[in-house]
Amino acid sequence: MSVIQELHRQLVRKERSATEITQAYLDRIAAVEPTLHSFLTVTGDRALAQAAEVDQRLAAGEEIGLLTGIPLAIKDNLCTYGVRTTCASKMLEHFVPPYESTVTQKLQAAGAIMVGKTNLDEFAMGSSTENSAFGFTANPWNPERVSGGSSGGSAAAVAAGECAAALGSDTGGSIRQPAAFCGVVGLKPTYGLVSRYGLVAYASSLDQVGPLAPTVTDAAILLGAIAGHDPKDATSLSVSIPDYTQALKPDLKGMRIGVIQETVGEGLQPEVKSALEAALKTLEALGATIVELSCPRFAYGLPTYYIIAPSEASANLARYDGVNFGFRAEGASDLLEMYMKTRAQGFGAEVKRRIMIGTYALSAGYYDAYYLRAQKVRTLIKEDFAQAFAQADVLVCPTAPTTAFKAGEKTADPLSMYLSDLMTIPVNLAGLPGLSLPCGFDREGLPIGLQLIGNVLGEETLFHVAYAYEQATPWHQQQPQL
Of 151, 174, 195, 311, which residue is the catalytic one? 174
Contacts with 346 (C-beta within 8 Å, 6 or more apart), sequence order: 89, 90, 91, 320, 322, 326, 327, 329
DSSP 199: B
Can you tell me the distance from the alpha carbon of 134 to that of 409, in angstroms, rounded to the nearest whole number?
Answer: 19
User: Residue 288 gets which letter from DSSP?
Assistant: P
Amino acid at 385: F
Per residue, the 3-state secondary structure of 390-453, as one string, reads CCCCEEEEECCCCCCCECCCCCCCHHHHHHHHCCCHHHHHCCCCEEEEEEEECCCCCEEEEEEE
Of the residues 2, 75, 101, 147, which is catalytic? 75
Active site residue 406: no
For residue 150, cis peptide bond before it (omega within 30 degrees of 0): yes
**Helix/strand/coil for 269:** coil
At position 356, the amino acid (one-letter code) is M
User: Would you tell me how many other CB atoms lie within 10 Å of the CB of residue 324?
Assistant: 8
Output the CA angle 444-481-475, nearest 5 degrees.
65
Active site residue 2: no
Strands (E), 206-346: 208-213, 256-260, 289-293
Contact indicator for 186, 218 with CB cutoff of 8 Å: no
Distance of CA 470 to the CA centre of its chain: 19
Q: What are phi and psi of 324, to 5 degrees?
A: -85, -45
Active site residue 236: no
Helix axes 373-388, 301-316, angle to 10 degrees: 130
Query: Which candidate, 112, 108, 4, 18, places its Cα nearest to that of 59?
Result: 18
The angle formed by the CA atoms of residues 156, 71 and 20, to the nearest 5 degrees, is: 120
Identified catalytic residue from 2, 127, 150, 151? 150
Instruction: Please identify every residue annotated as catalytic.
Output: 75, 150, 174
